[in-house]
């Protein structure tokens, strides 16, 4: 494992208070989507439960505000709404082992402080916080995880409104830096609008000049894709040959488009049911090793709530999950930090500048 990625240290289960910890308890769910009153709510930190005899099991792919199901010898982190009646739910609200539950918040920091520190921005970044070293490390992380990880991008529509940043994102996808893309109807619509009309919300994406009747363009592209029946069919029929969605289709990079009450259209692929959309996003949250969340408060916070702070690799080793939020305001990052997603690192800048910088640095490999 690269020295970029700090080593993980399991808790010391030989400590007396953990040796004497009871076996974890469970209670059956009283109904579908309802959990026992004393349920244990998970964090996004590594959480262990004691199965007895000193055997502690690490919950895979934990996330915030879910529960632990322990059924048939298998431990799983599940959203309460997905729990089925009768499933055995871990109960107990302590985190120090006294009910057989141990939350390990410092697995990456103790022995490897130096290595870890490298990834920590100033604790309270403001718009004056500089980023040059952070950028250097970000480039290394992305190069590493392109080949040995799973990079998930969460994009707001601003990325598609500028020719250069849109081209940068296309380049990153084509170069293998994106394993999954999460967005809403607007990002995909405006990206396709850019491909077909060279506009974003009716403005030329290069010159930013408003086009005559340009406010129709996003409605027209929505209508065209709906007429074609799918994005893939529309790309072919409309001879679309560039952009973010085009690159995903060409490189078979999966994307999830989650619906929102602001949507026009929507595109046929947009998932109208937000809880089904959460499930589809969760598939990628389980695999993510680095998350790049750009210019979307709603999706960044939603995905931040479902991403673990760690990942268990196939060989059983544990690594951190990096989470970068790129936005103009402190709000999203503060909000995630307040809710426990302490690993979120904020880069406060214009996402279009960010994308262009990033691609300039990564495009030569």
**Which residues from 275-334 bind a second copy, rule CB under 8 A?**
275-278, 281, 295, 297-299, 301-302, 305, 328-331, 334
Place of tokens 């308890």: 25
Backbone angles phi, psi at 290, to 5 degrees: -140, 135
DSSP string, 199-253: EETTEETTT-PBPTTGGGHHHHHHHHHHHHSSHHHHHHHTT---SHHHHHHHHT-
Residues 35-54 that bind a second copy (CB under 8 A): 35, 37, 39, 41
Q: Is residue 82 part of the contact set for a second copy (CB under 8 A)?
A: no
Residues 135-154 that bind a second copy (CB under 8 A): none
Q: Tell me the closest approach of the beta carbon of residue 314 to a second copy, in angstroms.
A: 29
The first and second tokens of residue 45, run together, are 């930190």
Q: Is residue 113 part of the contact set for a second copy (CB under 8 A)?
A: no
Smaller CB distance to a second copy: residue 51 or 164?
164
Smaller CB distance to a second copy: residue 145 or 162?
162
Alpha-carbon span 137 to 123, nearest angstrom: 17
Smaller CB distance to a second copy: residue 205 or 245?
205
Give the CA radius of gyration of the chain.
22
Q: Is residue 239 part of the contact set for a second copy (CB under 8 A)?
A: no
Alpha-carbon span 52 to 16, nearest angstrom: 15
b/e 207-246 (16+ beta carbons within 10 angstroms → b) = eeeeeeebeebbeebbeebeebeebeebbeeeebeebbbb
Q: Is residue 34 part of the contact set for a second copy (CB under 8 A)?
A: yes
**Segment (H or E) for 184:** strand 180-184
Q: Tell me the closest approach of the beta carbon of residue 34 to a second copy, in angstroms.
A: 5
DSSP string, 309-339: SEEE-TTS-EEEPEEEEEESSSHHHHHHHHT
Q: Is residue 24 part of the contact set for a second copy (CB under 8 A)?
A: no
Residues 170-199 that bind a second copy (CB under 8 A): none
Tell me which of 151, 187, 205, 231 binds a second copy, using CB under 8 A.
205
Tell me which of 69, 101, 195, 337 binds a second copy, using CB under 8 A.
337
Size of the site for a second copy (CB under 8 A): 90
Tell me which of 213, 252, 364, 365 binds a second copy, using CB under 8 A.
213
Q: Is residue 260 part of the contact set for a second copy (CB under 8 A)?
A: yes
Tell me which of 16, 53, 72, 130 binds a second copy, using CB under 8 A.
130
Smaller CB distance to a second copy: residue 74 or 127?
127
């Amino acid at each position: 494992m690269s020295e970029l990625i700090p080593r993980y240290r399991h808790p010391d289960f030989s400590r007396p208070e953990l040796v004497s910890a009871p076996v974890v308890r469970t209670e059956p769910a009283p109904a579908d989507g309802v959990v026992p009153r004393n349920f244990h709510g998970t964090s996004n930190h590594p959480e262990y439960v004691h199965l007895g005899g000193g055997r502690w099991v690490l919950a895979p792919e934990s996330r915030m505000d879910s529960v632990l199901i322990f059924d048939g010898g298998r431990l799983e982190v599940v959203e309460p709404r997905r729990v089925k009646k009768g499933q055995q739910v871990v109960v107990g609200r302590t985190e120090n082992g006294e009910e057989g539950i141990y939350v390990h918040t410092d697995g990456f920091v103790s022995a490897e402080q130096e290595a870890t520190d490298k990834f920590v921005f100033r604790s309270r970044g403001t718009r004056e916080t500089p980023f040059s070293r952070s950028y250097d490390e970000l480039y290394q992380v992305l190069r590493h995880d392109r080949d040995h990880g799973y990079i998930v991008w969460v994009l707001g529509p601003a990325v598609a409104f500028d020719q250069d940043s849109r081209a940068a994102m296309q380049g990153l996808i084509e170069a293998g830096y994106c394993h999954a893309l999460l967005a809403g109807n607007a990002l995909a619509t405006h990206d396709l609008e850019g491909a077909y009309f060279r506009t974003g919300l009716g403005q030329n994406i290069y010159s930013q000049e408003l086009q005559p009747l340009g406010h129709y363009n996003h409605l027209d592209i929505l209508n065209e894709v709906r007429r074609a029946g799918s994005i893939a069919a529309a790309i072919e029929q409309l001879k679309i040959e560039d952009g973010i969605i085009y690159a995903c289709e060409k490189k078979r990079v999966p994307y999830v488009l989650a619906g929102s009450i602001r949507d026009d259209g929507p595109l046929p692929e947009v998932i109208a049911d937000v809880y089904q959309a959460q499930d589809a996003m969760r598939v990628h949250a389980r695999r993510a090793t680095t998350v790049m969340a750009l210019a979307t408060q709603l999706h960044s916070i939603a995905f931040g709530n479902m991403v673990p702070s760690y990942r268990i690799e196939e060989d059983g080793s544990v690594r951190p999950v990096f989470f970068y939020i790129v936005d103009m305001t402190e709000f999203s990052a503060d909000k995630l930090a307040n809710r426990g997603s302490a690993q979120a690192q904020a880069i406060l800048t214009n996402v279009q500048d960010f994308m262009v910088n990033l691609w300039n640095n990564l495009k030569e490999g």
